Amino acid sequence: MVHNFVQISDCHIDDTAKSMGVDTHQNLAQVVKEITTVESEAVFISGDLTHHGTTKSYEKLKALLSPIRSDIFVIGGNHDSDKLNDVFAQNLFKKISLGAWDIISVDSVQKDKTSGYLTVNTLTKLNKRLSLSTAKYIIVMLHHPVVPMNSTWDDTLSLKNPQDLFAVLNKYAKIRAVLFGHVHESAEFNRQGIKIIACPSTAMQFTDEKRIGFNYYTLSDSGHLDYETQWV
Ligand SMILES: [Zn+2]
């Protein structure tokens, strides 16, 4: 049995279409159109759904996502606000099961800071969630990068305490991947057998890449995780 899901990230939708020098509304609409052509059981958004966290921007986002027929699950990023909890209350997730896999979220956002941090409380909750999971394989999703990006990205804006995260993850051999956004680029790393995957932005990339895109994942019940970045 194979399960497919989509990850999009960093849509940065604002009250007006133009944000960060691009038309984020039109760009997301294009990505959404592509997503409707692929087989997928779920679409995950890994933070920075909006640029300034206004209610209007979340409502605009919801309208832009409406052509998607599969379930949509979201986590917040540093650009998001508690308005996310109002407009996307039904879409926030802690754990989603797809066949033999669980996808578990971690909240890495610090108030008024671009970088991420996992508090003791968050790490304790994550440990509990991992220990209670009956899935054979686990994917962890958060907003901030957990490894140096080796790119033009400023690593000081990433997760400040990845060693604390890996101290928890290393206790569970069934963790196969860590997925995140925030860096506006497509990248893959490997850390002791765990795939570490960055999802590009639907708005614009911070690299030389001029296209926008999303990540498309295929999970097998025998434990394989494949993905490709689909550029639009
Ligand atoms: Zn971000």
List the beta strands (DSSP E) in the chain.
2-8, 18-19, 22-23, 42-46, 71-75, 95-98, 101-105, 137-141, 175-180, 187-191, 194-198, 213-220, 225-231
Phi-psi region of 150 (alpha: psi -120 to 50; beta: other; left: phi over 0): left
- Give the mean pLDDT of the chain: 97
Q: What is the pLDDT of residue 135?
A: 98
Query: Which amino acid type is present at position 23?
Result: D
d(CA 39, CA 77): 26
Whole-number Å distance, alpha carbon 220 to ligand 1 midpoint, is 30
End-to-end CA distance of the chain: 28
Whole-number Å distance, alpha carbon 213 to ligand 1 midpoint, is 16
Q: What is the pLDDT of residue 113?
A: 97
Whole-number Å distance, alpha carbon 72 to ligand 1 midpoint, is 19
Whole-number Å distance, alpha carbon 66 to ligand 1 midpoint, is 23
pLDDT of 23 > 90? The answer is yes
Whole-number Å distance, alpha carbon 1 to ligand 1 midpoint, is 34
Query: In the structure, what pLDDT confidence band is assigned to residue 228 with cuts at 50, 70 and 90?
Result: very high
pTM of the model: 0.97
Whole-number Å distance, alpha carbon 147 to ligand 1 midpoint, is 15
Whole-number Å distance, alpha carbon 221 to ligand 1 midpoint, is 32
Q: What is the pLDDT of residue 127?
A: 98
Rg (CA), the chain: 16
With beta carbons less than 8 A apart as the criterion, state whether 232 and 213 touch.
Answer: yes
Q: What is the pLDDT of residue 54?
A: 98
Q: Which two structure tokens, joined as six digits, stand for 108?
A: 């890495």
Q: Tell me the CATH class for 2-231.
A: alpha beta
pLDDT, tens digit, for every residue of 128-153? 999 999 999 999 999 999 999 999 99
Name 32's Cβ contacts closer than 8 Å, sequence gap at least 6. 64, 65, 67, 68
Whole-number Å distance, alpha carbon 114 to ligand 1 midpoint, is 7
Whole-number Å distance, alpha carbon 170 to ligand 1 midpoint, is 25
Name 216's Cβ contacts closer than 8 Å, sequence gap at least 6. 4, 6, 38, 40, 227, 228, 229, 230
Sheet holding 194-198, edge to edge: 95-98, 101-105, 137-141, 175-180, 194-198, 187-191
Whole-number Å distance, alpha carbon 3 to ligand 1 midpoint, is 27
pLDDT of 1 > 90? The answer is no
Whole-number Å distance, alpha carbon 150 to ligand 1 midpoint, is 18
pLDDT, tens digit, for every residue of 79-129? 999 999 999 999 999 999 999 999 999 999 999 999 999 999 999 999 999
Whole-number Å distance, alpha carbon 145 to ligand 1 midpoint, is 10
Q: What is the pLDDT of residue 56?
A: 98
Whole-number Å distance, alpha carbon 19 to ligand 1 midpoint, is 14
Query: In the structure, what pLDDT confidence band is assigned to residue 20 with cuts at 50, 70 and 90?
Result: very high
Whole-number Å distance, alpha carbon 33 to ligand 1 midpoint, is 24
Q: Compute how many other C-beta atoms are within 10 angstroms of the C-beta atom of residue 112.
A: 6
The secondary element (H helix, E strand) that includes residue 193 is: none
pLDDT, tens digit, for every residue of 192-206? 999 999 999 999 999
Query: Which amino acid type is present at position 198?
Result: A
pLDDT of 37 > 90? The answer is yes
Helix H segments across 146-232?
Answer: 162-169
For every residue of 92-120, DSSP letters joined together read B-SEEEETTEEEEE---B-TT-SSB---H
Closest of 26, 27, 36 to residue 6, by C-alpha: 36
